Structure 1
Amino acid sequence: MYLAKGVRTQVAIVGAGPAGLFLAHLLHRQGIESVILEQRSRAEIEGTIRAGVLEHWVVDLMNDMGLGDRLMREGHFHSGITLRFGRRSHHIDMSELTGGKRVTVYAQHEVIRDLVAARLEDGGRILFGVSDVDVRDIDCAAPRVLFRQSPDGPMEELPCDFIAGCDGFHGPSRQAIPAACRREYQITYPFGWLGILAEAPPSHPELIYANHERGFALLSTRSPEVQRLYIQCDPRDDIANWSDDRIWSELHRRLEDGSGWTLTEGPVFQKGIIGMRSFVCEPMRHGRLFIAGDAAHIVPPTGAKGLNLAVADVLVLSRAMAAYYSTGSSDGLDGYCATCLARIWKAERFSWHMTTMLHRNPGESAFEQRLHLAELDHLVHSRAAMAALAENYVGLPME
């Protein structure tokens, strides 16, 4: 799609990840115009394979917006999870503990494919492959985004009323907030995840989280034919050091319990190592710029909160913008940061808690390891503790 010179929009959205795409759809439902600028190609954003666990309310939202048909056909609906430690398994029935709520395993790139297709079908404007994106004049009543529509093309500008920075941790939006006006909180964990995709049938109907003396492991799924699995490793390690045989050997050791259950192997067709961190930027607004999703916060994947937090951000933002355009009230826009950050910090706490409880920190003492095991033991034998975990895992209420 080519954007003609002189075009103006109400909301310029930087980034076509989950936050930007959901925001565009939510604004469209309120009659608010937007243009999405994305530096990657459509093939790149739809082909970057990332896992996804959707909270109960996010699935309801997608269905309410008419975006959930393929999700409901192909998603995997999980009513619980299994925790393994000390070579014993403990099932947590989240649905029973939360009045029927559940999570849905549906990969993030599949969500993106659905949102892009629906956006283009609606006639929405997404500019893929733009470059040199620059956010300007955010302190003024007429902000703008500068960009090139092609690598050799001239710099162009998109004037707008507001800018939504949904461009991830490394994008330009957060950096446009003056350093003196923002505070960034961050933890870098001393371990990472080695993740694989394997052609194999499911080994277990739901996710298994394992705390093992050799480190954490996670059994997940992507489809009836493809499974996703992770093991804790040194984030500085070279993936070349990990043969398929070594990976499967570690997965068997860390995931199998004393029940006779065994992991099903299959050909590995993708593997890589990612670092782990927690990050929050405050505030999430400066002038007419609002940041959302990974531009504003990062959570370790243990708690499965990243995509869900992004959707929560833009749902709050879309409601605030709808009120502004319909009544002139800026109360929702003024309260955007406080509303979002209250939820974000709860999700950060939950993700940090799950991560520290289930992983083996290379620098922790034997005393600390025993504390983590005691915490797990308390969790699986206390209905109140299980209910608290389930409540957070399926998603805190949005209202």
Structure 2
Amino acid sequence: MEHFDVIIIGAGPAGSCAGAMLAQAGKRVLCLEKQHFPRFSIGESLLPHCMEFLTAAGMTSALQQQAESLGFQFKNGAAFLKNDIRTAFDFTDKFSPGPGTTFQVKRAAFDKLLADAAAEQGLQIRYGVTVQHCDHLQAQQAVLTVSDENNSQYQLSAGFILDASGFGRVLPRLLDLELPSDFPVRQACFCHIRDNISDGRFDRNKILITVHSSLSDVWFWLIPFSDGTASLGVVGKQQRFDSALSATDNLWQHIRQTPELAELLAQATPVNEVQTLTGYSANVRTLHGNNFALLGNAGEFLDPVFSSGVTIALRSAAMAVPLVLRQLNGDTPDWEAQYSKPLRKGIDTFRTFVTAWYDGRFQDVIFSEKRQAKITAMISAILAGYAWDQANPYVAEPERRLNVLRELCLDVD
């Protein structure tokens, strides 16, 4: 049985960055990935906070060098559109310190770039491997039973397991950790297009989030890339979609019902088939155990509306690695106090704003002309991913502050 210091499940952004940082520390690390890269994935609009973690993992140089050739788009903010009301947030004008720009990426190429960069730093990656069973988590090491594409099974052991399997949620399924999300079941229909946009008001340096003309809980993402293509998707409660229609018809029917977006995309042509994802929000009983921890979407996923998924994934990797190193060196870190609770604080900040987006409170703030510049900078920081900055009043007290701000924006006494 091969033994490793750490085995990571999943070679997405969280797995690759955690693997790179552990390899930098001299640990013997193996990453198991079920698929082969490149492979399609959504979550293409990064937040500037991500850049701090990519730098720590030694990956920003490769990203910056290859961004143009891979069609990645420079990103400096987010734009919003609702019934011809337009507004935007500039992430370089924000309350929290840290990078203010990032990229909008094609995840197939982006994930492969990160995995290759991690491999160059010493991370071993085996593709086409599925984890079938996990055992001995109460002992000094964990044992994984895995299978390859020839259905050959074998076992691997490690001092610690990091689950970065994303929506695959390997350990939550195997260890019965899954909990239902308290978010309503929502559906997304999405694809890549050649956008052919000529409207001068469209800023390719920003993601565009458009609210449906008559259904305020339905929204669209439009993420432009530098090669003239874009990622396009619609999100709403499952009942907002017609089960008798195809994913393609559901997507374009909603777009036709939203004239401003329909006009913007009048010349768009599809690049690939429209896909559907339903019931993507998830939660777990715990983010850690004796010999394991869950990273990113494997632990909890909220909603795509503010592109928080990759940021949470990378933040979780950066927080977990120092604790893994301490544990491997014989220390006993307090995973609940030093990982789970602080990680969830930022997730809960995002949760507050996601919930307020769908019930309309945050939309009232975003589309208000009465926001002060200082307040806008605080909101911009959260939209840029800095949801853990306790110096920001809207992070320290998100619910109360947001409710007060909404009243001010509406002039409610």
- Give 1:312 shift: 0.8
Distance in 2 separating the partners of 1:329 and 1:304: 35
Q: Answer yes or no: is the 8 Å Cα contact 1:81–1:91 preserved in 2.
A: yes
Could you tell me which residue of structure 2 aligns to residue 67 of structure 1? 59
Could you tell me which residue of structure 2 aligns to residue 117 of structure 1? 116
- Cα RMSD (Å) of the superposition? 3.1
Could you tell me which residue of structure 1 aligns to residue 384 of structure 2? 394
Could you tell me which residue of structure 1 aligns to residue 269 of structure 2? 267
Q: Answer yes or no: is the 8 Å Cα contact 2:159–2:328 preserved in 1.
A: no
Q: 2:154 aligns with which of 131, 153, 156?
A: 156
Q: Answer yes or no: is the 8 Å Cα contact 1:130–1:150 preserved in 2.
A: yes
- Give 1:226 shift: 0.7
Q: Answer yes or no: is the 8 Å Cα contact 1:301–1:351 preserved in 2.
A: no
Q: 1:86 aligns with which of 69, 83, 86?
A: 83
Identity among equivalent positions (%) equals 14
Structure 1 letter corresponding to 2:345: A
Q: Answer yes or no: is the 8 Å Cα contact 1:350–1:392 preserved in 2.
A: no
Gaps of 5+ in 2: 390-413
- Give 1:251 shift: 2.9
Could you tell me which residue of structure 2 aligns to residue 58 of structure 1? 50
Could you tell me which residue of structure 1 aligns to residue 165 of structure 2? 167
> Residue by residue, what CA displacement relative to the aligned partner does 1:155-209 show, whole Å, maximum 9, x if unpaired?
32111111112223443311344x5xx5735134354232231123455222222
Distance in 2 separating the partners of 1:31 and 1:379: 53
Q: SS of 1:345's equivalent?
A: helix
Counting only pairs closer than 5 Å after superposition, residues 339-378 of structure 1 correspond to structure 2 as 339-357=342-360, 374-378=364-368
Q: Residues 320 and 227 from structure 1, CA distance in 2 versus in 1: closer, same or farther, beyond 3 angstroms?
A: same
- Give 1:140 shift: 1.0
Q: SS of 1:56's equivalent?
A: coil
Distance in 1 separating the partners of 2:40 and 2:248: 23
Q: Answer yes or no: is the 8 Å Cα contact 2:350–2:387 preserved in 1.
A: no
Q: Residues 12 and 101 from structure 1, CA distance in 2 versus in 1: closer, same or farther, beyond 3 angstroms?
A: same
Distance in 2 separating the partners of 1:111 and 1:255: 33
> Residue by residue, what CA displacement relative to the aligned partner does 1:300-323 show, whole Å, maximum 9, x if unpaired?
100101111111111111111233
- Give 1:28 shift: 0.8
- Give 1:240 shift: 4.8
- Give 1:228 shift: 1.6
Counting only pairs closer than 5 Å after superposition, residues 28-43 of structure 1 correspond to structure 2 as 28-40=23-35, 42-43=36-37
Q: Answer yes or no: is the 8 Å Cα contact 1:52–1:107 preserved in 2.
A: yes
Could you tell me which residue of structure 2 aligns to residue 283 of structure 1? 286
Q: Residues 301 and 379 from structure 1, CA distance in 2 versus in 1: closer, same or farther, beyond 3 angstroms?
A: farther
Distance in 1 separating the partners of 2:387 and 2:247: 41
Counting only pairs closer than 5 Å after superposition, residues 1-399 of structure 1 correspond to structure 2 as 6-40=1-35, 42-43=36-37, 46-72=38-64, 73-74=67-68, 75-98=72-95, 101-153=100-152, 155-177=153-175, 179=176, 184=179, 186-189=181-184, 191-202=186-197, 204-205=202-203, 206-211=206-211, 212-214=213-215, 215-232=218-235, 235=238, 237-238=242-243, 240-241=245-246, 250-251=254-255, 253-254=257-258, 256=260, 262-263=264-265, 265-270=267-272, 271-325=274-328, 328-331=330-333, 333=335, 335-357=338-360, 374-378=364-368, 381-396=371-386
Query: In terms of mean alpha carbon deviation, does 307-316 or 344-353 score higher?
Result: 344-353
Following TM superposition, where does structure 1 have runs of at least 4 consecutive aligned residues deviating by more than 6 angstroms? none
Could you tell me which residue of structure 2 aligns to residue 3 of structure 1? none
Number of equivalent positions: 370
Q: Residues 19 and 93 from structure 1, CA distance in 2 versus in 1: closer, same or farther, beyond 3 angstroms?
A: closer
- Give 1:67 shift: 1.7
Gaps of 5+ in 1: 1-5, 358-370
TM-score, with normalisation over the residues of structure 1? Answer: 0.81
Q: Answer yes or no: is the 8 Å Cα contact 1:130–1:151 preserved in 2.
A: no
Distance in 1 separating the partners of 2:259 and 2:362: 18
Structure 1 letter corresponding to 2:26: G
Q: SS of 1:265's equivalent?
A: coil
Distance in 1 separating the partners of 2:148 and 2:115: 19
Distance in 1 separating the partners of 2:288 and 2:308: 21
- Give 1:147 shift: 1.2
- Give 1:123 shift: 4.5
Query: In terms of mean alpha carbon deviation, does 291-300 or 53-62 score higher?
Result: 53-62
Structure 2 letter corresponding to 1:148: S
- Give 1:355 shift: 4.0
